Structure 1
Amino acid sequence: MISLDFNFNILTRDLSHYLENQVKVGLLGSGVGLYLVLGFSAAYTCYYLISVAKKPQLISGGKKFYQFLREQCPVVSETYYPTFWCWESRIQTLLRPFVTAKPGVVYRNELIKAADGGQISLDWFDNDNSFPHPDPATRPTVLLLPGLTGTSRESYILHMVQQSRDLGYRCVVFNNRGVSGEMLLTPRTYCAANTEDLETVIEHIHRTYEAVPIMAAGVSMGGMMLANYLGRKGRETCLKGVVVFSAGWDVFECTASLEKPLDRFLFNSYLTSCLQASVHRSATGHSQISTSRVVASPKRFHRLKSVQVPMLCLNAADDVFSPSHAIPVEAVKQNPNLALLITCHGGHIGFLEGLWPRQSTYMDRVFKQFAKAVIEQGSRLKEISK
């Protein structure tokens, strides 16, 4: 990592002197292009180190949870260095699916029945070669919830499966109805406000592996659904801990942000068309569903003060899907089970870092450290939620 412990005044003076003298010399000779490039590079580096690379803001409603995170998840205290050539919010958001690698993962698919007759698709990564947890009956399990139109094949999900595999854990991905290719058996899809399918999935996992610790991670709408679920259930859940990434905390503010002309063109229209396509593809025989009227319209969250399970939430302040002024800072401060980690940059499910961000991102590192802390320090974490 590059150290920021330098005298800014001296650097500014030396840089100004360099540009004033060297560029003048270059203009008289043949090296003007080189001098301009060097000067611009030096100025850009200074701007990046001073204005872009910053430590995240960690906010918690309880000193115990705050201290736990500082001790067990050192990433929350580290400076986040976004990829220097694509730190802007929209660029991070758009490039993540294309530049990050997709680890090879072989799933075991399971279709389970919902109470209304519908079916829910689960993709299991059993991790049978787990060295730390060779017994399937006690192997820790991580439930993963993708975003609005996401499935188990999204790069961010595959990376979390990879991180869990390295830790020796089992993963199960909850695919929302109709998005992963299965047919809709009832005229019903999903939204963040309705947690019935999620409750069915969690109960199914718990019945299947009664002796294992279970934690969950949700991304974007998946995180919204998880937060809503915890707000409704309180202590009546088997989840030991939850981590949420890039959740849209106030859907009305999110909608207003995404309806701005540029963001509507880049994101909103695409998401709506994907939703309509998934319903059209899987809704054969259900004339009650009109794909021309399918839109994303989840309601406001259940009250965060009702969450009784330790939950860490990562958001970027520049996320156009979830504007910074809508992040529930004050609500988090009032609940000792909640913590917010806010980076200055990262976009929506971006958090790219490194010169060429093919491998793990800042978000992946947060996930791995928190998942390990929840599973291996469960007794300490349980004390926090009392």
Structure 2
Amino acid sequence: MSQSLTASRSLAHPQTLAENHVFGEIVRSTFTPPWWAKNRHIQTIWPRFFQRRLNVHWQKERLILPDGDFVNLAWSGERKDIEQSKGLVVIFHGLEGSNKSHYANDMTANLVTQGYVVVLMHFRGCGGEHNSLPRAYHSGETQDAWYLLNWLAELYPGVPKVAMGFSLGANMLLKLLGERPKQTILRGGIAISPPFKLAECSLSINQGMSRMYQSYLLKSMVNNLVDKMRTIDYSDHLEIDDVKARKIKTFKEFDDHVTAPLHGFDSADDYYEKCSAINFLPTIATPTLIIHAKDDPFMNESVLPKTTNLASVVRLELSDRGGHVGFMQGTPWQPIIWLHERVNQYFQEILRV
């Protein structure tokens, strides 16, 4: 058993919660990095660029949304196998991610070997194909995911379902679960490296070596926006054109000039306040595991929730090291992703399989 970091089961918050309220728990993760990968940037970068991808036989499907737009789904094989599987795992990728992202592809390969069927939802405009409306996706966009979950529930009512999100997708999943505490579609959820507090993360990733991640992701975001501007008129939605878009240098600028106006927020700060997962953790009623590292280069320790932020069914497993969606062990020539084993254990506990 992991060692508890706090007396999380006996605290009460008289100002906001009932006297006998039971909080979630924050425990020390069992993850320990190998000697060669203690640096947070190695943990973050090595699996992406130096680890061989596992084989997944992806099957694509387009899901039409209520507003006429679409998202592309990626299935881990044939849907006919779902009824005979241990369960259906719904995956939500991170910023500018897809089913080809190292964490999503290899986690899916792992889950398939465990007997699950996986479906990954590409957020609008992700996965190599632009969506048809000006709107895109962001850390708090839960409507498309909720529509997908209800669609899956209608198709496969007898199949147990769980969900997991990475980074931006993790923030989105936590927000969705907190918004809908009475949901019965998902039996459990896992959030890996969620940003928790978006405003603090936008500042942290603009400092030191972390700026290389911002630059890498921002280039993709801006290029996709400019490319989409060639076929969609944004003049009624944004006050910038393609030339001004290419001058954006930070996530905060992008969210101020693009994310906020496209999705009905007053500003980046308004978006950050309304969509940060930290605000939705207390109302989650679905068993949820959060896996996070203190040295995550996308953020800093100031974003971490306290036990008083966690609903009783939420467990935060915290490690000193691990980077952003890293948690890599093994050797340089044969690395092992510790996350796979931990995810397998948790889903087995939730689904009793």
- The TM-score, its normalising length taken from structure 1, stands at 0.73
The answer to whether the 8 Å contact 1:316/1:346 transfers is yes
1:123/1:85 Cα in 2 relative to 1: closer, same or farther (>3 Å)? same
| Residue 56 of structure 1: how far off its partner (Å) | 7.4
Residue of structure 2 aligned with 1:356, choices 329, 332, 338: 332
SS at match of 1:239: coil
Between 152-161 and 305-314, the greater mean CA deviation after superposition: 152-161
2:222 equivalent in structure 1: 276
Matches within 5 A, 1:369-384: 369-376=345-352
The answer to whether the 8 Å contact 1:59/1:66 transfers is no
CA distance in 2, matches of 1:105, 1:353: 22
Between 220-229 and 109-118, the greater mean CA deviation after superposition: 109-118
Matches within 5 A, 1:132-151: 136=83, 139-151=86-98
CA distance in 2, matches of 1:200, 1:60: 38
| Residue 344 of structure 1: how far off its partner (Å) | 0.7
Q: What are the ranges of 5 or more consecutive residues in structure 1 without an aligned counterpart?
A: 1-54, 71-75, 378-386
| Residue 372 of structure 1: how far off its partner (Å) | 2.0
CA distance in 2, matches of 1:352, 1:368: 16
The answer to whether the 8 Å contact 2:76/2:119 transfers is yes
1:14 equivalent in structure 2: none
Aligned length: 310
Between 278-287 and 240-249, the greater mean CA deviation after superposition: 278-287
Q: Which has the larger radius of gyration?
A: 1
CA RMSD of aligned residues (A): 2.8
Residue of structure 2 aligned with 1:172, choices 102, 119, 139: 119
1:61/1:167 Cα in 2 relative to 1: closer, same or farther (>3 Å)? farther
Residue of structure 2 aligned with 1:295, choices 254, 259, 266: 254
Q: What are the ranges of 5 or more consecutive residues in structure 2 without an aligned counterpart?
A: 11-21, 256-267
The answer to whether the 8 Å contact 1:59/1:339 transfers is no
One-letter identity of the residue aligned with 1:336? S
Higher helix share: 1
One-letter identity of the residue aligned with 1:253? E
The answer to whether the 8 Å contact 1:145/1:175 transfers is yes
Residue of structure 1 aligned with 2:152, choices 205, 225, 244: 205
CA distance in 1, matches of 2:330, 2:187: 32
| Residue 246 of structure 1: how far off its partner (Å) | 0.5
Describe the superposition over 1:274-316 as per-residue Cα deviations: whole angstroms up to 9, x where unpaired: 1122333455421206551682555223421110001110110
1:324 equivalent in structure 2: 301
CA distance in 2, matches of 1:325, 1:363: 23
| Residue 368 of structure 1: how far off its partner (Å) | 1.6
The answer to whether the 8 Å contact 2:29/2:318 transfers is no
SS at match of 1:275: helix
1:338 equivalent in structure 2: 314
The answer to whether the 8 Å contact 2:29/2:317 transfers is no
One-letter identity of the residue aligned with 1:247? P
Describe the superposition over 1:85-128 as per-residue Cα deviations: whole angstroms up to 9, x where unpaired: 12111222122201222111111111111122211110011467
SS at match of 1:186: coil
The answer to whether the 8 Å contact 2:71/2:131 transfers is no
CA distance in 2, matches of 1:116, 1:207: 19
Between 87-96 and 216-225, the greater mean CA deviation after superposition: 87-96
One-letter identity of the residue aligned with 1:274? S
Describe the superposition over 1:52-101 as per-residue Cα deviations: whole angstroms up to 9, x where unpaired: xxx7766695599989x99xxxxx764x3313112111222122201222
Residue of structure 2 aligned with 1:93, choices 8, 28, 44: 44
